[in-house]
Structure 1
Amino acid sequence: MDTLDKLIFYNIFINPRISKRELAKKLNLSLSSLIYRLNKLQKFIEGYYTYVDPVILGYKKAIVIHNQENISNESVRFKCIEGYIISEIFGEDINKEIEKISPTFYQIIPNRKYSLSKLDYKIINLLVKNPLISDKEIAIQLGKSSKTVNRHLSFLISNNFVKIVPRIDIAKLDFLLYSIISQTINKQIKHIFKYPPIYIGFAENLEEIVKLSKFGKISIKSEYKVNNWIFNDQKFRTQFYLN
């Protein structure tokens, strides 16, 4: 896997829904060259997750560093080679959720304001069912114009209420995912998730991570998982009449 392949993977992490034509233009590649590389890399992608921020349903959330294998109400998990885990957890009473995890090495509780429409929730519902559904197909299913759907999707994605994440066994690949805890974050960091001051980043090699270590404590990730908790969330199913 060369540098360009890794750059393609990074862009897939950032936005798996990006069109081939747009990605080719961004990377200064011909469309045929990009398609050739994507076909070669496709075998490493096992599928896609749809991350949904629990705050959209009024839940509180926390980012916790711990070493407990099985915890409830976990929306995202990053496991480190050192043995500890970074989890995003959520609940009506987040302090009670945190108390269930012992020991806890670090925690933050972000506060977010949000205002979503019923159409936003309907779009989220379709994305959870099919992360790569096209804007056009969403518009058809919801009886809306493509322009309207695109506007709502842009809002949801730019505010990180929804994020499509490729499901990849990173142990099989040459790039690295890592976490960094830093109050003086630098724009050099290619982050794929951020919970300031915790960032989950993408690096092409170990040397790149070593250079970034001056900004804060770094740990390399061995695996990650996004839980589709919203599938079984009764609050989501009933409050917005999505059955």
Structure 2
Amino acid sequence: MDEIDRKIIFYYLQEARVQQRKISTELNISPQVLKYRFDKLVSNGIIKKFVLHVNPAVYNKKVGFAAFKGSSSYNDHVFTEIKCLEELSIYGFYGDSDDEVSENIKKASGKLGPTAMRYIPVMDDHPSLNKYDNSIIESLRKNPRRSASEIAQELNLRYHFVKRRINYMLKKNIISIIPILDLSKTDIVLFGLFTMNFKAVSKIVEDITLFNVNDLKSGISICFSESLSGAKQIINKCREIDKNIDVMVIYEYDFYDDFNEIN
């Protein structure tokens, strides 16, 4: 993997639905060369897939996170699994209430051992959706990177309306589109941050955040960097704001795009 491949991946981490012609223009390569390189990144298993993650509040779910020592896998009421070099596995749990989320974490502790970290955010109310948004979400579930024009044609809606609704849902964190990478085949660094001063820290990492969950005070962000030195600079800036921030270097991760599939 060379510098151009690394930059291509970085563009998709920043914006998973970015149009290839925009990347080819930025990198000064032809669309044909970009497509060849992208297809090769996929066929070589470096880009494994793109996952649509829907805010659990859309389904009236609550969420919580817990970290456990070790690298065992667990998938009961889990929407994300993140493995870290610090011999920690972080799981995102969901349930119909905060109490159920706590019970699901307790249940996991019975198999994985005591929690090394636990966080249940105070979540916002049900996100504001219009009557077409669920249909758009279901269409994106088939292929998170399919174009707004394809979705508009499938749903018999206007292109500009579909594009506007997708952008709205992305901006409001109602949906996220997450590239799943084989990090062992890249130089990209993914790291998790857990901070009690989320508002200030988020301003530092907003351009390199792949995914986050937060409330008014604290939160977890999954961030990316092109290099270890770049990650270190960002982490040091964050520690100037929150000296007790927890940092975890990620070597493997996955997100599950449908709560019904993993009940």
Aligned equivalent of 1:96, options 84, 96, 103: 103
Counterpart CA distance in 2 for 1:99 and 1:186 is 29
Structure 2: where are the runs of 5+ without partners? 240-244
State the SS of the aligned residue for 2:119: strand
Q: Is the 8 A contact 2:10 2:226 kept in 1?
A: no
Look up the SS of the partner of 1:100 in the other structure.
helix
Count of matched residue pairs: 233
TM-score (norm 1): 0.84
> Is contact 1:52-1:230 (8 Å) kept?
no
Which residues in structure 2 correspond to 1:63-142 (within 5 Å)? 63-67=65-69, 69-93=73-97, 94-102=101-109, 103-104=114-115, 105-113=117-125, 114-142=127-155
* Counterparts of residues 43-54 of structure 1 (less than 5 Å): 43=44, 44-54=46-56
Aligned residue for 1:238?
none
Counterpart of 1:240 in structure 2 is none
User: Aligned-residue CA RMSD in angstroms?
Assistant: 2.4
Aligned CA distance change for structure 1 residues 211 and 96 (closer, same or farther; 3 Å)? same
Q: Report deviation, 1:120.
A: 0.6
C-alpha deviation, 1:76, in angstroms = 1.5
SS of the residue aligned with 1:221? strand
What SS does the aligned partner of 2:132 have?
Answer: helix
- Using structure 2 for the length normalisation, give the TM-score: 0.78
Q: Work out which of the residue numbers 207, 226, 229 in structure 2 matches 1:207.
A: 229
Moved more, 128-137 or 52-61: 128-137
Q: Does 218-227 or 4-13 show the bigger shift?
A: 4-13
Identity %: 25
Q: Which secondary structure state, in structure 2, belongs to the residue aligned with residue 220 of structure 1?
A: strand
Moved more, 209-218 or 192-201: 209-218
